[in-house]
Amino acid sequence: MRSRLEFLEFDQDQRDALRGTRYDVRVVIGKALDRFYSRAALTPHTAQFFNSPAHMAKAKAAQEKHWDLIVQAEFDSNYHESTRRVGATHARIGLEPRWYVGSYALVVEELVAGLARRRSFWQRLKALWNPAGAQESTIALVKAALLDMELSLSVYFEEAQASRRAAVAQLDEALAALSECDLTHQLSGMPRSFATLEDSYNEALSKIRTMIASVAEGARRIDGGVNEIAQASEDLARRTEGNAATLEQASASIAQMDDRLRSSADASRSTVSRADQAIATVSSGRDIADEAVHAMNRVAASAKGIDAVIEGLDKISFQTRVLAMNAAVEAGRAGEAGRGFAVVADLVSALAKRAEEEAGRARDQLTATQTDIGTAVEMVQRVDNALSGISSDVAEVHQLLGKMADDNNAQAMAIHEISGGVGAMDQSTQQNAAMVEQTSAAARNLTDEVGTLAELTQAFKVDAGHPQTANGSARLARQNADGHSLAHH
């Protein structure tokens, strides 16, 4: 304080002059402060520091007491303590120096003008003869105001610096906790000028805490889902490989069926050809049978002619016997002369009898032959009927074999198409199996990534009741050892 007074050349005479204004200042200070507080109430930047008229009246009373200490011109510890309270209050509430200096300008203006108005006639007359002496009180008042303003601003800056140091220390502590992945250490009790920083930091910390917790929960859910996907992919891969093997076997079996059906179709076509030959052979047999029947009928007709011949011979034999009997009768009549004719007649009669007997046997043989020929004709007709049935059956068999050949050809074509489709399915299944293997590998890689993400999120402490996990701390230690910062991650 002494060094300040010396630098301002605020000597004892000026301090005495200041004390001489004490009564006038007590009278004028109220109006000066009213002007300031009226302006403060109309200015949003200053009005925010007063929550009610009573609050403003209390501040005004404190300012009046402080000005009473100023005009006492003692500048002792009481004055210094009062000045520190003013500066500390301004620093605590965040009153910027421009508003403080502006308010001081209004108050000093009113004080100087008020003191000038309160001068007596003799003081004004004296000022005409000694202008410098007349301004001593004003100069002292201005120096005292500037001294008070400088002290208040110095305290303001000291308090602001102390507040900044306290805020920086608390923020440093919070950031140190944050660097250790502790998201539960919030800022509290920050100076009023840092209230916005406190709220912003705490809000950001809360959002980060919520985000980390959500990421951790999401990582756990993703890990569970990825494990299920990986397991399902592996199961699908195994089933797909099994299906591929089965399809390969089915393709081979279908190929064998295709070959067999083609062989069966060729055999069917060969059988149809042989059936055509059989039909031709049966037709030829029927023709031969018809010729045999005609021949038998001709033989039967010839046999009937032979029977007529035998009947004629039988008649001739009968007539010959009659003639032989007549010759014998005539020879008997002729006596001895006709004995030779009697012998001839007996021979002729015996020959006729024998011829009649042979004709009877020939007729019997011819009858048997005719019977056999009839039986043969009937058998040949049966053979012809059988061949006709065989021809009809063979024709039906031929038709059926033709249908079978067509069906076999159609089945062979269908099996060939199925074989091609199964082959394509086999190739696609193998490709799908490869893709499933890739998907399974990707799922396993994703599982590792999710595990890494889970370890990173577990390193953060988001709940005061749950300490950091060992895995997260160890992982962060490894990352720090590798030169990776938390902010980079």
Note the pLDDT of residue 483. 38
- 2-170 belongs to which homologous superfamily? Globins (1.10.490.10)
| Closest listed residue to residue 3, CA positions, set 145, 128, 147, 195 | 147
What is the average per-residue pLDDT within 318-343? 74
Same fold across 2-170 and 246-439 = no
Distance (Å, whole) CA 7 – CA 146: 12
The yes-or-no verdict on residue 123 having pLDDT over 80 is no
pLDDT tens digits for range 412-425: 677 777 777 767 77
pLDDT tens digits for range 206-237: 888 787 777 777 777 777 777 777 677 777 77
pLDDT tens digits for range 419-468: 777 677 767 777 776 777 777 777 777 777 777 777 766 766 666 655 44
- Where along the chain do its domains lie? 2-170, 246-439
Q: Does domain 246-439 have CATH number 1.10.10.10?
A: no
pTM (2 decimals)?
A: 0.44
Note the pLDDT of residue 7. 92
What is the average per-residue pLDDT within 330-338? 73
pLDDT tens digits for range 161-213: 877 787 788 888 878 877 877 777 777 877 766 778 878 888 887 888 787 77
The yes-or-no verdict on residue 88 having pLDDT over 60 is yes
